[in-house]
Amino acid sequence: MYQSPRRLCSALLQRDAPGLRRLSTPRLRRQSSPPAAAPRPASPRFLAAVSAASGAARSCSGTVYSMGNGPSRLYSALAKTLNSSAASQHPEYLVSPDSEHLEPIDPKELLEECRAVLHTRPPRFQRDFVNLRTDCPSSHPPIRVMQWNILAQALGEGKDNFVQCPVEALKWEERKCLILEEILAYQPDILCLQEVDHYFDTFQPLLSRLGYQGTFFPKPWSPCLDVEHNNGPDGCALFFLQNRFKLVNSANIRLTAMTLKTNQVAIAQTLECRESGRQFCIAVTHLKARTGWERFRSAQGCDLLQNLQNITKGAKIPLIICGDFNAEPTEEVYKHFASSSLNLNSAYKLLSADGQSEPPYTTWKIRTSGECRHTLDYIWYSKYALNVRSALDLLTEEQIGPNRLPSFNYPSDHLSLVCDFSFTEGPEGLL
Ligand SMILES: NC(=O)C1=CN([C@@H]2O[C@H](COP(=O)(O)OP(=O)(O)OC[C@H]3O[C@@H](n4cnc5c(N)ncnc54)[C@H](OP(=O)(O)O)[C@@H]3O)[C@@H](O)[C@H]2O)C=CC1
Ligand SMILES: [Mg+2]
């Protein structure tokens, strides 16, 4: 089943390893005779997305880092992530490879490789799943969803100023293995990620070989591009296991606030369960950060809700919305989601004793401005159409430690949230 000699995984994990050049160029299954097709040019869709965004490649601070001029700037930033020497030789590099022709890798082998890279790191923290619904047996396996702001590498190293986090702990070669280790440990069916700035050179190639289909939507004005030696723009990414779900439709949404286009984005996809035929909509977003922008986030949230009303035709299908909302539960945007006619509930409230309170934190860091402990990340779901069967408990304050996050133990300043969902067995129309 798996063509996964150890060298395959370790080559995939290394940066600029000769093998990577070979392996990251989509390797088609050895086809009988016909000579390999000429390299496919980057798809017009992709180039359109790159040039549309690249007008913003100039950073706001006015400083531009060695990216050439105009559209080529962002294009070459993306190409850089794909090991530019190879990218220039293989333009098809910049188009997500046709994943069913990629050689699968064994998750166990990849996990072993990650652990080999991390052998000097302290052992992983143990987090347990809390069973929330034992009273509603389901005839189908649960749908496991992971929400995670994985911290963009350029921001972590160049902008976030995590003053208590040793620089060593942020080294990409090891931090990417900590991220992959978390994903492999919980094996989500669906992954909703923010601050992805290593999509093309790391997560897309690796996760597609693990059977995921991925979509990436970069921020039009990514703050990563302000950082010297950046790896291209950060954005939201959505991955789902192809053997469990079929993609029915996909929308990249640039969020507006007061009718103005903003720098924040979302991805919304309608998936169909291959086993049950049931359809649902899954969305990922990352709202504007920082205090003082509460009204802005509220407007962005309303825009996202309106988009999702349209996509689900007024909640005709169940909905799961994952995101770093950059908003505490006291904020207006949270109240909009909690009182939406889409009949949403926040899954992580169910971990509390009364089922009504959000966890005390989902992100905990120390910047030059001081210690920031906040609840900003959520998984919203259609409360009448879906059951939350279990949720992954958070790290304790002791596990997080006095220097908070990120650290040698944990790769991001945000915790991953993981829930198992099942469809309520009641009348489908009750949403
Ligand atoms: N918005 C626009 O229209 C324009 C934006 N730009 C560029 O975009 C950048 C702003 O991007 P935008 O996405 O709107 O920014 P945000 O304010 O949403 O924050 C960008 C990132 O900074 C992190 N962050 C939040 N608080 C702090 C902090 N106190 N110190 C350091 N980092 C923090 C956030 O992480 P987290 O979410 O984890 O908190 C987020 O990932 C500018 O720096 C500029 O480069 C340029 C022109 C126009
Ligand atoms: Mg951040």
- Structure token pair of residue 10: 């370790």
pLDDT at residue 65, as a whole number:
41
Structural contact between residues 274 and 241, judged by C-beta atoms closer than 8 angstroms: no
Question: Cα separation of 152 and 234, whole Å?
Answer: 6
Say what percent of the chain tops pLDDT 70. Answer: 75
User: Cα(356) to centroid of ligand 2, in Å?
Assistant: 27
N-terminal to C-terminal alpha carbon distance within the chain: 40
Task: Look up the ipTM and state it.
Answer: 0.93
Q: What is the pLDDT of residues 346-358, one digit of tens each?
A: 999 999 999 999 9
Structural contact between residues 385 and 153, judged by C-beta atoms closer than 8 angstroms: no
- Structure token pair of residue 6: 């150890």
Can you give the three-state secondary structure of 14-45, one letter per residue? CCCCHHHHHHHCCCCCCCCCCCCCCCCCCCHH
Q: Which residues contact 306 (CB under 8 A, 6 or more apart)?
A: none
- Residue with the smallest CA separation from ligand 1 atom 28 is 160
User: Cα(274) to centroid of ligand 2, in Å?
Assistant: 35
pLDDT at residue 427, as a whole number:
58
pLDDT at residue 242, as a whole number:
98
User: Cα(119) to centroid of ligand 2, in Å?
Assistant: 27
- Structure token pair of residue 199: 């999509």
pLDDT at residue 101, as a whole number:
61
What pTM value is reported for the model?
0.82
User: Cα(195) to centroid of ligand 2, in Å?
Assistant: 7
Q: How many CB atoms lie within 10 A of CB 52?
A: 13
Matching residue, tokens 């994903």: 183
Q: Which of the listed residues 155, 236, 371 should we mutate to test ligand 1's pocket, taking the one with most ligand atoms within 8 A of CB?
A: 155
Q: How many CB atoms lie within 10 A of CB 246?
A: 14
pLDDT at residue 12, as a whole number:
63
Stretch (H or E) spanning 183: helix 172-186
pLDDT at residue 190, as a whole number:
99
R_g over Cα of the chain: 21
pLDDT at residue 425, as a whole number:
80
Q: Which ligand is nearest to the CA of 224?
A: 1
DSSP 5: -
Question: Cα separation of 204 and 163, whole Å?
Answer: 31
pLDDT at residue 140, as a whole number:
85
pLDDT at residue 13, as a whole number:
75
In 58-182, DSSP assigns E strands to 129-131, 143-149
| pLDDT averages per 10-residue partition of the chain, 431 residues | 55 50 34 40 43 37 39 44 37 42 88 96 93 78 98 97 97 97 97 98 97 98 97 98 98 96 98 97 98 98 98 94 98 98 98 97 97 98 97 98 97 98 74 64
**Residue whose C-alpha is closest to residue 357's, from 390, 326, 334:** 334
Q: Which amino acid is at 251?
A: A
pLDDT at residue 366, as a whole number:
98
User: Cα(57) to centroid of ligand 1, in Å?
Assistant: 15
- Residue with the smallest CA separation from ligand 1 atom 33 is 160
Question: Cα separation of 372 and 162, whole Å?
Answer: 10
Q: How many CB atoms lie within 10 A of CB 264?
A: 28
pLDDT at residue 412, as a whole number:
98
Q: What is the pLDDT of residues 77-90, one digit of tens each?
A: 444 433 333 333 33
In the structure, which protein residues have their CB atom closer than 6 angstroms to any atom of ligand 1?
59-60, 149, 155, 159-160, 195, 219, 221, 223, 226, 263, 288-290, 324, 326, 367, 369
- Structure token pair of residue 280: 């649902």
